[in-house]
């Protein structure tokens, strides 16, 4: 259970429910899990509505209408209502899409998928972006993937989808299958056809496509590891010769090995950082019966430079700052959060996930609010604390502390 949310045990339905209940529960679990890509979390009302649909009290269209009406008639507004409204409506839309096996495998179909997912949520649902973008990524230490320029979006979509349409899966090995699927999905995502909602659209489109090809798709990786899925796409499309980092599709391939082959790679985000700590430098296969984590050899180089920069253990943040310094704090939680945020912009959910925390109330009370009050962190939209795209970043004071801590850590390891 997270916070005071109504807990719906989808796994219980999947394990012991009737066949129709199992399918519905899996669909809702995936639809809700995909919201983590943007740090969003569904409401109690959505969870209760999903339960009614799973138990056959209402159909999927009635569920969507209930969600729509709920927010139209809601009189008491909570701080995170905008985020929950997006998560709820998008989850219901995705559940509707996944309830069928139909797919228009074309550029128009892909664009229509975005419209169907974000209908009633985004003003530009179903429209290709008309501007170039960059996105600072935690796993890349604030660097960005090079996304396609906006003028070539439709041409690139046409090419990738037509190439995939002509590919034959006949008589290929499992390894060749995983490599090919990963390459197709990676290329489709890197086009980044939409200003927002690109990863969720790609995920739903791929699920439907793989089903259309006849694959038995386990929704569990998308339901539980959607943020890993996105970061694996980032790593598959990032190259920096100066830093000695090449495109690294192995993490995405492991996601699809779990999805399609039932393997058990440990899908946690810290393995994907370009400079992981020693603890997170080797991604284990949990099905391997050995005390030592193992990884499958790959021809693609995986960067494993040891670093302590992403550790969130309080003992790693011991500093010798002068107590009279303007950037001094004795609060270990603030120091941890400063080290996590660094030069990036983070949502509350992303910060909690990175620190391995689950209680939002405690995180706000003991980590985020003290950091804001002592002016180490600031809101990206200070005049709108409940902005649906609110992010948190370091102040000048926070950056000064971050640089001091980073230098101290580097000096310690020289």
Reported as a single tens digit per residue, the pLDDT across 25-83 is 999 999 999 998 888 889 999 999 999 999 999 999 999 999 999 998 887 777 778 89
What pTM, to 2 d.p., does this model score? 0.69
- Of 62, 52, 36, 44, the closest CA to residue 7 belongs to 44
Mean pLDDT of the chain: 85
Give the model's pLDDT for residue 316.
42
- Pairwise pLDDT comparison (74 vs 315), residue with the higher score: 74
Residue 364 has pLDDT above 50, yes or no: yes
Domains and CATH numbers, the chain: 1-100 (no CATH), 126-307 (1.10.3290), 314-412 (1.10.10.10)
Query: DSSP state, 149?
Result: P
- Residues 140 and 135: their CA atoms lie apart, in Å, by 10
Lowest mean pLDDT among 5-19, 321-335, 370-384: 5-19
pLDDT of residue 304: 31
Distance CA 174, CA 95 (A): 29
Residue 165: CB atoms within 10 A of its CB come to: 9
DSSP-assigned states of every residue in 20-40: HHHHHHHHHHHHHHGGGGGT-
> Closest Cα to residue 360, out of 107, 1, 3?
3
**Nearest-angstrom CA–CA distance, 304 and 298:** 13
């Amino acid at each position: 259970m997270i916070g005071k949310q109504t807990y719906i045990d989808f796994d219980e339905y999947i394990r012991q429910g009737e066949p129709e209940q199992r399918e519905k529960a899996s669909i809702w679990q995936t639809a809700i899990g995909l919201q983590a890509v943007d740090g969003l979390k569904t409401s109690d009302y959505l969870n209760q509505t999903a339960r009614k649909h799973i138990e056959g009290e209402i159909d999927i269209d009635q569920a969507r209408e209930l969600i729509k009406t709920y927010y139209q008639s809601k009189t008491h507004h909570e701080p995170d209502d905008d985020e929950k409204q997006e998560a709820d409506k998008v989850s219901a839309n995705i559940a509707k899409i996944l309830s069928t096996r139909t797919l228009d495998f074309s550029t128009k179909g892909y664009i229509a998928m975005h419209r169907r997912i974000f209908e009633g949520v985004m003003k530009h649902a179903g429209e290709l972006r008309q501007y170039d973008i960059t996105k600072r990524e935690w796993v890349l230490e604030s660097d960005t993937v090079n996304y396609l320029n906006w003028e070539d979006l439709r041409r690139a979509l046409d090419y990738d989808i037509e190439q995939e349409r002509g590919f034959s899966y006949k008589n290929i090995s499992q390894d060749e299958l995983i490599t090919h699927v990963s390459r197709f999905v990676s290329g489709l995502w890197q086009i980044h056809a939409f200003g927002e909602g690109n990863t969720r659209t790609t995920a739903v489109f791929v699920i439907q496509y793989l089903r259309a090809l006849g694959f038995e798709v386990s929704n569990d990786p998308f339901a539980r590891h959607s943020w890993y899925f996105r970061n694996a796409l980032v790593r598959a499309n990032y190259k920096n010769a100066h830093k000695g980092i090449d495109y690294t599709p192995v993490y995405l391939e492991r996601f699809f090995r779990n999805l399609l082959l039932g393997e058990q790679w440990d899908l946690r985000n810290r393995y994907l950082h370009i400079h992981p700590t020693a603890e997170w430098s080797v991604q284990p296969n949990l099905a391997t019966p050995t005390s030592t984590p193992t990884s499958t050899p790959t021809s693609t180089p995986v960067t494993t430079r040891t670093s302590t920069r992403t550790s969130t253990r309080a003992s790693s943040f011991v500093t010798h700052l002068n107590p009279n310094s303007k950037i001094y704090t004795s609060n270990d939680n603030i120091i941890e959060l400063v080290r996590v945020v660094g030069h990036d912009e983070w949502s509350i959910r992303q910060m909690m996930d990175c620190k391995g925390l689950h209680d939002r109330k405690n995180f706000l009370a003991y980590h985020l609010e003290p950091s804001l009050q002592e002016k180490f962190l600031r809101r990206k939209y200070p005049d709108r604390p409940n902005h649906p795209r609110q992010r948190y970043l370091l102040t000048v004071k926070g950056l000064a502390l971050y640089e001091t801590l980073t230098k101290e850590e580097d000096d310690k390891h020289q």
